[in-house]
Amino acid sequence: MVAAYKIRENLNKVAAEILGCKEDEVEILDAKAYSKNNPSKTVNFQELALQCYNIGLNPSCFGYFRAPKMVFDQENGQGEAYSNFTFAAHIVEIEVDIETGQIQVLKVTPVYDAGKAINPLLLKGQIEGAALQGMGYAIMEEIVYDGAVIMNPTFQDYHIPTSMDIPEIEPTLVEHRFRYGPFGAKGMGEAPLIPMASAIANAIYNAVGVRIKELPATPERVLAAIQKGRS
């Protein structure tokens, strides 16, 4: 972001000369630069970049950023381990067949504070994909070993969610700009994957009153837990 601002200053300087206006009057939008006071006069971005090259203005810049120093006590686990946290909550609605232990995830409502959502559609897509991956981790995916030999090395035996298993996923973004992030953004990445297993386990407990303490929560494990709970 620091480098981007420096480049923008250079672009504004050249655009102001071309448009005959002040640098702080320059607006760049939809691949065109124009003066806020005279929007009818424009210069396209290609011409602007070419003019920068012609006058020897560096078209690249460097930016440096150092996160604020954190204080963290490794012995007691207290303090601030990171300067940036993405906050989330997942609500999961499921159905459990008490005769077979089969679980069907019906709906997932993930709520995220990821700072400023620069690209909301892309962000929601990341949430949907990671939530589905987390669902697979929670109820389907398991590597089976016989000693050092993997017994289910292909997708014929190692089960992952398919298009038929996708529940309704309704992401919600709660935006709070992060002062140290680019344009106020935080990271997303793997964050939507992490809460899924816990949310599904809690939903199972809410539905049938048993705690699943081993993943994945396969029908066999769920049914065994239900039967143990009955006894």
The residue from 17, 95, 190, 220 that is catalytic is 190
Q: What is the pTM of this model?
A: 0.74
Is residue 75 annotated as a catalytic residue, yes or no? Answer: no
**DSSP assignments along 73-117, one per residue:** ETTTTEE-S-S---EEEEEEEEEE-TTT--EEEEEEEEEEE-BS-
Least trusted range by pLDDT, from 7-16, 74-83, 104-113:
74-83
Kindly state the percentage of the chain with pLDDT values over 70: 100
Instruction: Measure the CA–CA gap between 24 and 37, rounded to whole angstroms.
Output: 11
**Domain 87-230: which CATH number of 3.20.20.80, 3.30.1300.10, 3.30.365.10, 3.40.50.150:** 3.30.365.10
Domain ranges across the chain: 2-54, 87-230
What pLDDT, in 10s, does the model give residues 39-72? 888 999 999 989 988 998 877 888 887 777 888 8
